[in-house]
Amino acid sequence: MKVKVLFFGVLAEVTGTNFKHFRDVKSIGDLKLRIQDDFPEVVHYNYRISLNNEIINNDPKLKDGDEVALMPPFAGG
Amino acid sequence: MVTNYLINGPITQKVISCFLEKMGEKTDSGGHSVFLGQVRADEINGKKVTAIEYSAYEGMVMVEADKIKATILSEFEDAKSIDIVHSTGIVKAGELSLFVLVSAGHRHQAIHACSKTVELIKEKLPVWKKEIFDDDSHEWKR
């Protein structure tokens, strides 16, 4: 299985990428650990996580094709 | 061209005119309230903002902007329609980056619904700003 992780705002700058695919991740918690392995600098920033365009606060299971976004505080308007 | 609430670059007079031209079709409305957000040439630590680069999570902008419109229409019974346009990409100081138009039966709800819409956009829309300074440095706005 494969999920797509999107990086926005300052996170896109510090990771050097707008997105990355991760394979065989079971849950959001699992995914966060894998992201921190690849991009250790991410831990220094505040961000919220969305799963398929919905902000989440828990640790749902992931399935193939899911889209996860790491979003620093919004600054629109 | 506006696609799913977003436009690349500044919001031009032409874009605004397109929305204003349609106001006459809303014959159930007695008041229209417009907000225009502009990039301000702030001075920060001796450096001047020359532009802002906006980025957005486009799929989620669609979802959240739809929710904002539903919230406003539910909260303001007299509101008839809401139009939202937000820039992505580079917008220079003095150029416009946000357009909100609320039409309502009467002026009070048009004005207050427009104000509430702007506040919800600032709170809920997944958009990020990178301030670009006159020395070519930049800083992410929080």
Pairwise CA distance, residues A57 & B55, whole Å:
23
Q: Give the dihedral of Cα atoms B47, B119, B57, A21; nearest 10 deg.
A: 90
* A41 belongs to a structural domain: yes
B59 found inside a domain: yes
The verdict on residue B16 lying in a domain is yes
At residue B26, the pLDDT reads: 87
Q: Output the domain CATH number for residue B78.
A: 3.90.1170.40
Q: Look at residue B123 and give its three-state secondary structure.
A: helix
Domain assignment of residue B81, yes or no:
yes
Nearest CB to A71: which of B37, B118, B126?
Answer: B126
Specify the number of domains making up chain B: 1
pLDDT band at B23 (very low <50, low <70, confident <90, very high): confident
pLDDT score, position A19: 97
Q: What is the pLDDT of residue B2?
A: 84
Whether residue B3 has pLDDT greater than 90: no
Has residue A77 been placed in a domain?
Answer: no
Nearest by CB to residue B57, choosing from A8, A10, A73, is: A8
CB-based contact, A42 to chain B, within 8 Å = no
- Domain membership of residue A52 (yes or no) is yes
B24: confidence class by pLDDT, cuts 50, 70, 90: confident
Q: Does residue A76 sit within a domain?
A: no
* Averaged pLDDT for residues B43-61: 96
Chosen from A11, A49, A53 to mutate, greatest number of chain B CBs within 10 A = A53
Specify if A62 maps to a domain: yes
B60, B63, B127 member nearest A75 (Cβ)? B127
Q: Do A74 and B98 lie within an 8 Å CB cutoff?
A: no
B121 in Cβ contact with B100 (< 8 Å): yes
Stated pTM of the model: 0.94
The domain containing residue A10 runs over which residues?
Answer: 2-71
Number of domains chain A is built from: 1
State whether residue A69 sits within 8 Å of chain B by CB.
Answer: yes
Please report which confidence band the pLDDT of residue B142 belongs to, taking 50, 70 and 90 as the band edges. confident
Residue B1: its pLDDT value, please?
Answer: 85
Q: β-strand B96-104 against B127-133: which pairing, if any?
A: unpaired
Mean pLDDT of B61-86: 97
Tell me if A12 is assigned to some domain. yes
What are the residue ranges of helices labelled H in B22-98?
58-75
CATH number at residue A25: 3.10.20.30
Average pLDDT over residues B103-111: 97
- Does B122 reside within a domain? yes
Q: Tell me, yes or no, whether B142 lies in a domain.
A: no
Domain that holds residue B13: 6-21+30-135
Work out the pLDDT band at B124, boundaries 50, 70, 90: very high
Task: Give buried/exposed letters for A9-34 (b at 16+ CB in 10 A, else e).
Answer: bbbbebbeeeeeebeebeebeebbeb
Task: Encode chain A (77 residues) as per-residue pLDDT tens digits.
Answer: 999 999 999 999 999 999 999 999 999 999 999 999 999 999 999 999 999 999 999 999 999 999 999 999 999 98
Indicate whether this complex's ipTM tops 0.90: yes
